[in-house]
Structure 1
Amino acid sequence: MTQHDTRRQPPDEPNDTDTFAAEINARLQDRIRAEIAESAGLLPFDRFMELALYAPGLGYYVAGAEKFGPDGDFTTAPELSPLFGRSIANQCAEVLERIPEAEILEFGAGSGALAIQILGRLAEIDALPKRYRILEPSPELRRRQHDRIQQRLPHLIDRCEWLDGLPERIQGIVIANEVLDAMPVHRFRLDDAGEPLEVCVGEREGALTDVDAPIRSPGLAERIAALQADGFALTPGYASEINLRLAPWLSALSDVLERGLALLIDYGYSRSAYYQPDRSMGTLMCHYRHQAHEDPYRYIGLQDITAHVDFTAVAEAGLGAGFEQAGFTTQAHFLIGCGIDQLLSESPDALEQTLAAKQLLLPTEMGERFKVMGLDKGMTESWRGFSVRDLSDRL
């Protein structure tokens, strides 16, 4: 999920001896082809992406292959440095202090590194939550997360709980680090006359491919029209993505979060930057063995598929769901507000962590490409993570 804007060629094919990967790829392609046939030969791209990433037992995030860190396909901020999670823990502590019996809910905990960093720091400052809950769809990742937390923080494993879906209610803090970019998106393209078409998935000469078709997904035409009314996506040939699942997701989250703060951390732009004229081919990107490329049909089930986040859409959907906007800033400003400099000075391996901190903070690395949005409910406080520089006025 950690990615660059640079367009790259696909890496080498998987090794033919990797029978597990070959089986996953073949079975998932059969599943997708069956759905294409059931959809009269054209499958909306968001459904293809959903199957490629989340089909039970087969999708990229629910099959058993390694995904995170040096042996996986990409490296996220918690794998770069414990300073990331320890800084976020300082923001968590500020929320936990103000809500008795508060909990933490993390979406998609990956390798478990972020949970370990947050819990470890909160234990140091005597600010542990009542529970640390992880919503994780992958049984394999659940097992790895549990084992890693138990190994690193055995005294806190009983405080952790894994969920299949949203809890009935929660008060406290919600963390979604690189979650929104992996939500299935719809794709569109303007024809030579400037009329919008939906990019669907079909077959040509036995291979899966993009197929431009009249818009069929409910709500997509209205969203494209709204973009165009604001002066975006007007040039013939322009192509991009729209996340129609964002608003329902935030609405469901708002229904269960009675009081607290949601932190949404991801790479993305404000709407004006997302749909600017020179970003005319969208932001869809795939990640396989630490290489980025543009072909979502090349390693189905074996690669990550992502799109940048339209944070203006996140803010609008959050407000529509009943949240208040708590702040919006770059990752660098957020981590500085959360005291990463002090944590670095206290680190026993400060020299090594300084190099990692540069990757988290520098504008040319993750510092400005990644953004943090805060949405809160039932609280009117200002939060330290947005104290250095709040960029909400740019949305």
Structure 2
Amino acid sequence: MARAVRTASQLDTGLLIACGILAAVALIMPTWMQEAVATAIRRTVLAPLVSVQQKSEVVRATIVSRDSVQKLSAAAAGLALSAPELSNENEQLRQLIGLGARLGRGFVAAEVLQMGTLDQEFTLTVSAGSNAGVERGTPIVTSEGLVGMVQSVDPTFSIAISWAHPDFGVSAMSVDGAAFGIVKPHLGTGAQRWLLELRGVPFRAALETGALVVSSGLGQGYPRGIPIGTVISEQQTTEKWVRTYILKPAVLPNTPGPVLLLIPSRSPKDVNGVWTTLASSDSAERSIVMAGDSMAKKAALDEIAARRAAGDTISRDSLSADSLGGLPGRGGVPGRPDTTRRNVPRDTTRRPARVDTTRPKPPTGPPPPADQLQPEDTWP
């Protein structure tokens, strides 16, 4: 009995030492080797556990939804079809189907299964892997624009990073091709964390607010013409020969949903015209702004002309009254200038309001609504 206990204790000690050695080796291994080992473990040791977890999730969802399914009726089904969330999901699916039809080839439809965890906030799990032709560096897009890129691939799923990940970067340009640069995440706090930066733009290439920025197709992986974001403002930097712009992202990676993966080896190198809605809306917005400026100028000129005409009429009436008042038989009295009117003194003691520098910055959290994404210097 004592010998068996001693043997079990020695075995436990040996396993502990072996685990410590393996942990130390894993820490000093290079990144690519760590990913290879992790992939091998997921495909072998953890494969049954992943399968069991998926089946248990299906069983749990079935049990939870059984009672509600039994209470539904045909009338409730019609009401469910008009629910806002379902309508939004259907609209997303329709737009994604239209995007796939315009692409024609070179893409894989998938679902974002899980968003980032606490230690990996900007990662995504996608339901397509190497069996479907997905490769490392594959762009992930929606009908609105770029979401991120695939970082590691397994046979049935992939791990990706969104554009908010610190390691993300893509060569970009303006729609008209006048400005080129590199888009990187804006590493701010709170809502600022969900903005983008267009860096390295030549100083002579100025961009207007609202200008659409797309992928340039330079390098490998990203085809030319994927919408990335729109210009909010120019960021002041110490670099005098280049410009940096703050971008509002085209897509906020805040909820799971359907996506398309553009396979680099099969997708076209140029997808200009595929996202026709955003491109047309950008040009339409510019046309509206230009038209609005022209109408405003015309209205201002008409108002000035009307005021001049009214002023000339008043002047003629005043001159007629003054000249008639000096004639015999007319009771008019020539007017005298008002010499008692004094200028109102100016308030020289008023001081400009001081900026409140003690206001804390918003806390970091999930992506805010798209209409609340603004650069920090425009916050109320």
Q: TM-score, normalised by structure 2?
A: 0.20
Larger Rg: 2
- Give the number of the structure with larger relative contact order, counting CA–CA contacts within 8 Å between residues 6 or more apart: 1
Q: TM-score, normalised by structure 1?
A: 0.20
